[in-house]
Amino acid sequence: MEFIRTDIPDVVICKPKVFGDHRGYFSETFRKDALEDFLGYQVNFCQDNESRSSFGVLRGLHYQLPPYTQSKLVRVQEGCVLDVAVDMRKGSPYYGQYVSVELSFENKQQLFVPRGFAHGFVVLSETATFAYKCDNYYAPKYDRGFIFSDQYVNIDWRLSPENIVLSDKDRNQPAFQDAEAFDYHQNLYDDEIEHDGKRHTLV
């Protein structure tokens, strides 16, 4: 597995090694110790999600507030998407900036999106199956977002507006500067959640 820091160094491209021959291919898509050695901290994934979407479907931009903030490791199992991570940490030198990476079945790249970032993607192929690991559980009361077309962040989604398909939720998200943000100096990996009546430390 090769790890590459993006223009926002906390956001990391993960490139698995692919071994192929006439039978097909084999690839190790996730290795916890290798990722943590590169990042320098623990990431305990606890929930896997999958979605299938058609061309032009845009899902995002989403994040969760503490204590349910999430890191995500995302990849495409079929098709191609433009994947985007936006720094939501006030005080960060990259606050309001974004990283966009094309993820596809062909290139097999993955993107690690750390806590403190909003995440979204748009489908560039006819259809796409998108899978991601999360290191915290989905918590609707802590779910937040901002509008994909926000002019302050000014994301290039590579598609014209008439080709973008949104849910009602994503169509009515607030502007970036009206969205709830994180504190860059807060340790977002040092928290606890309650699950099944027990307290769990997320470090």
User: How far lies 166's CA from each of 26, 31, 113, 171, 172, in Å?
Assistant: 35, 33, 22, 6, 10
Q: Which of 156, 125, 132, 158 is nearest to 54 (CA)?
A: 125
CB atoms within 10 A of CB 36: 13
Phi, psi of 30 (to 5 degrees): -155, 135
- Catalytic residue, chosen from 62, 137, 184, 200, is 62
- Catalytic residue, chosen from 98, 132, 142, 189, is 132
132 in active site: yes
138 in active site: no
Distance from C-alpha of 36 to C-alpha of 102, rounded to nearest angstrom: 23
Catalytic residues: 62, 132
